[in-house]
Structures are given as structure tokens and as C-alpha cells.
Amino acid sequence: MSNPFLKLDPASRREFMLGTARTALGVSVLSHFDRAFGASAPVPSGVGGKAKSVIYLYMAGGMTHIDTWDPKTGDTKGAKDAIKAKGGFELGGYMTEMAKVGDKFSIVRSMSSKTGVHEAGTYVMHTGYDPRGTIVHPTLGSWAQHFLGRSHKTLPSSVVIGAGEANAGFFPPALAPVPISSPDAGLQNAHSTVDEDTFKKRISLMNEFDSAFREKFKSGDVKAYTEFYDETMNLLTSSDLQAFSLSGVDSATKDLYGTGGFSRGCMLASRLVQSGVRFVEVRLGGWDMHAGVDQAMGRTGAEMDKGFAALITDLKNKGLLDSTLIVMGSEFGRTPRINENGGRDHYPKAYSTVFAGGGIKGGYVHGSTDKDGKEVTDKQVTVQDFIATVGAAMGLPIAQAVMSPSGRPFTVGDKGKAITELFA
């Protein structure tokens, strides 16, 4: 009789192995740690880029550019006046903490996108590609692992903190980021639900049952199955798991970040890149400000302002800012004119992104919009250029085509051009 599991695709086989692990071992380790479908060989050194790691601060919902990074003085001005930032440029009046570290980051004020829909905008800001029904494209963390290999022998190469997609696109599932729902909860389901003696006995029994089968059927799938459990054991017994816990952070660092959820996510991101995780995304929602933009900026804007500034300061204090790229993006901007509900609506035509560390200039503004923030007037930047710039900062060969399983070529950022003026 034929075995239906031999016909499963890699993702389905992975889920089957996960279910077996849960039942037999009493664990529910995330599958992203296995090498069953591992990364490609690392590319040669010298491909460019200074960033050894990246922290992507994603502002979910459509961040208002006029109230943050591209303030105006005319009819489209928000409730607060612009403030002067260290570095010489102006920021929205809510950005009081970021103004203090203005000499440590660059702003791209000339972003423009073709989509004003949340889901599609989020997708393209993570992949560089418009959504297509026939294929899922990789995000930057997966691209980096494909080209550079794993960044740590035990820990994952990429992590997403907060709600968000965590898949590898058309790459093997092992290249997907590990999702962390909450910075305080850390990595869930990484510990056995049975006592140590029972756990060891189960491992011994499974090895005894499997040994003959592994010896007889030396296929790639069987090897992948074995490596899955080897990686699981390494993870469960590794002290590196402490990287996912904020309990070891000193009090001065905790005071710097404060107690906000986004700030604590940034604190965990700093801890993870220190430990060897290459790519970390931290999400902050609440930017869909169709009503009461001033009140919403007082909450969401203030939370972003504190967390972002603390992250820059923390990495600078630890000597890691030069090797860590921090990038902030959102699916689009918001309408320059405030609507009848005191809010701003979706506006992909012009918006801003921010880059810091990782070889990026400080105190630099790239591109501009008109006096109302409606039109890009200089150095227009596409989403593809944005993705390509992050890839180039990491040293990825952004022009190198990779074939998907369906036989189609794709590149990092869909042939976008890196913004070379941003680099110091």
C-alpha cells in the first residue's frame, strides 16, 4: 500500500513532523529551527553592505508622513508645529525624542507607491512585489538566509515581533521568520510539557524505533526528518534561548525603553541582534487614523517616537549601531488635508521612510514633497528601491536572479535600485 505522506510537499511534511513531535515528545517547538530544507551556500564576501543585522520597524496601518517625518506649515499642517531636530532638519511636533538623535538617521521623504490598500501595501513593503495569486514572494529575512546562510548555529536567522506574516514565500519553510506574539511572552512552546526523565525515555524509544528505518531508507526526506529532531534537541538544551527573554536586561536599559509594548519589542530586537539573529521585525499598529489624528498621534506617535529613539541610543551605547541597520516603513502615507472627522485617509502618492545605522548617513534628508505634502517633487523612490536599499545594506546580491519552484526568476526588490546617497 502506498504511503500518502511520501507525496506531501515540504511544508506539509514539516507540519506532519511537528505533529509527531508534539505527540511523542511533549514539545511544540517552532519548525523554523530545522535544517530540513536548509539555506543555500553563503555568497562570497565582498558583495557590499555594512549591516550585519537589520531591525525593521513596521508601522502597520499607514503612517502619517506630515505629522512625523515631513512636516508642513500651510493648510495641511497638523495640530502641532514642527520642531528642529539635531542634524538640522525639521520633524513633526510629536517626534520629541527622535529630534534628540536626528544626527543618527536619514529620512526619505520622496516615497511613492501604487497601492492604497492595507493588505496589498503591506505585502509590497515587505517583498517588493505586488500580490499575485499564483505565488508568495519572500521577505527580506528569508532572502538574507538564502544568500548568506544561517546567522547562528542554534537561534533563528529572522524573527517577527508582533502580529504579522511569518512565511518564507517560495523559499523552503526553514527560511521563514519565527513569530513572537509578545516581547514579554518571548518564544512560546520551546519547552517540554513532560518531566526530564520521561522526555529522555521518549527520545531513546524513538531513536530505537527509527534506527532501522533510517538505515534502510537513506533518502533526503528521511535525513530531513532526523535533522528536525536533532535541531529540536539542540534548541531545547541551548542557553541561547535566553536571548528571547527580557528578564536578563539590566535596569538602565529597561528604563531607557520604558514600559510600552512597542518599546519593549525594540528592546527585544536589540537583544536578539546582539545574540546573532540577523533580521528582526517589530510591528506597531494603530496608524489607520481616519479620525482624531491628533489624539491618535499622542498615543501611537508618542510610542513610536520613544521606542525608535531608545533603540538608536541603546545600539549606539553598545557599539552596535554601525553594524545594525534600523529601517522604518509603512504601507503608505496619509492624506495631507485633514478630513471632516479630524483624521487623515490613505495616501500612497507621497510618504516617508527612515534609515539609521548600518553605514547610513546621519542628519540627511533624501528627496522632498511640495509645500502641502501632496506630490513628490525631487528624487522619487519606489517601494522596490526601498527594498533594494535594505538588501544592499545587508550585502545581498540584489541583482542576482533566483528561480522559484515554478521556474520564474525573481530578485531582491524586483529590480529596484538602491538609494546610494543614503550610505556614508
3-state secondary structure of 191: coil
3-state secondary structure of 344: coil
Residue type, 15: E
* pLDDT score, position 223: 55
Query: Under CATH, which number does the domain 53-186+245-422 receive?
Result: 3.40.720.10
* CB neighbourhood size of 261 (10 A): 17
* pLDDT score, position 198: 66
The Cα–Cα gap between 171 and 233 comes to 24
Nearby residues of 51 by Cβ (< 8 Å), 6 or more positions away: 323, 324, 325, 357, 358, 359, 393, 394, 395
The Cα–Cα gap between 154 and 55 comes to 20
By C-alpha distance, which of 332, 323, 187, 308 is closest to 258? 308
Residue type, 231: E
Residue type, 168: A
pTM equals 0.84
| Beta pairing class for 90-91 and 83-84 | antiparallel
**pLDDT values of the chain reduced to their tens digit, one per residue, 424 residues:** 444 333 444 444 444 544 554 444 444 444 444 333 334 434 333 334 789 999 999 999 999 999 999 999 999 999 999 999 999 999 999 999 999 999 999 999 999 999 999 999 999 999 999 998 889 999 999 999 999 999 998 898 999 998 766 789 999 888 889 899 889 887 755 545 556 566 566 666 666 666 666 566 665 555 545 554 555 556 555 677 888 899 889 999 999 999 999 999 999 999 999 999 999 999 999 999 999 999 999 999 999 999 999 999 999 999 999 999 999 999 999 999 999 999 999 999 999 999 999 999 999 999 999 999 999 999 999 999 999 999 999 999 999 999 998 899 999 999 999 999 999 8
**Residue 354: strand pairing partners:** 107, 328
| Start and end residues for every CATH 3.40.720.10 domain found in the chain | 53-186+245-422
Quickly list H helices, 131-219.
140-148, 196-216
By C-alpha distance, which of 209, 210, 199 is closest to 232? 199
The Cα–Cα gap between 136 and 139 comes to 10
The Cα–Cα gap between 164 and 219 comes to 35
